Amino acid sequence: MKNMVKFLPIVTSVLLIASSSLFAKDRKWSAATLPSQSTSEINSIATDGKNAVAVGYNGQILLSSNGKTWSKVSSGTTSSLYSVDYDSKTKAFYVSGGDGVLLRSSNGLKWESINHPNKKTDFYLLGVA
């Protein structure tokens, strides 16, 4: 995907990012400190060209407009979140996770649950595209 941000999974509170347009000049890696209330790993990151959304365990969603400052936003779930992607056609972010969680947001701040026929507590959605 054109708008995907390259990332490394991190087990501490530091996120390493690289991007050709949104965050880092000349595609250099730089460290970004996550909010102190962020306690879990980051599993996936996506950008719409203006904002970036990162997802992780325990329903964690982080939002950034510059890649260095991240804010925790409410996902409405405590299920682990595994994947996030941005769809330029619908102009929305999509998140998938454990317990059949599927979320959508047009701005990365307010998230809504998407109902689907296979929503079960033992069903894991590991990716969106």
Cα 103 to Cα 37: distance, rounded to the nearest angstrom: 22
What does each of the 129 residues of the chain score in pLDDT, given as a tens digit? 444 444 444 333 345 444 444 554 455 667 777 776 666 688 999 999 999 999 999 999 999 998 888 999 999 999 999 999 999 999 999 999 888 889 999 999 999 998 876 555 555 556 565
Q: Which architecture does CATH list for 6-113?
A: 6 Propeller (2.120)
Nearest to 82 by CA among 102, 65, 68: 102
State residue 58 phi and psi, 5-degree precision: 60, 30
Sign of CA dihedral 31, 36, 42, 44: negative
Cα 9 to Cα 107: distance, rounded to the nearest angstrom: 24
CA dihedral 96, 49, 70, 98 (to 10 degrees): 0
Q: Supply the DSSP symbol for 80.
A: -
Q: What is the pLDDT of residue 41?
A: 83
Nearest to 53 by CA among 82, 22, 77, 86: 86
Q: What is the pLDDT of residue 127?
A: 59
**Strand ranges of the sheet holding 6-7, from the earlier edge strand across to the other edge:** 6-7, 14-18, 30-33
**Whole-number average pLDDT of the chain:** 77
Q: Model-level pTM?
A: 0.73
Strand residue runs (E) in 68-129: 71-73, 81-87, 92-97, 102-105, 112-113
> Any idea where the domains of the chain sit in the sequence?
6-113
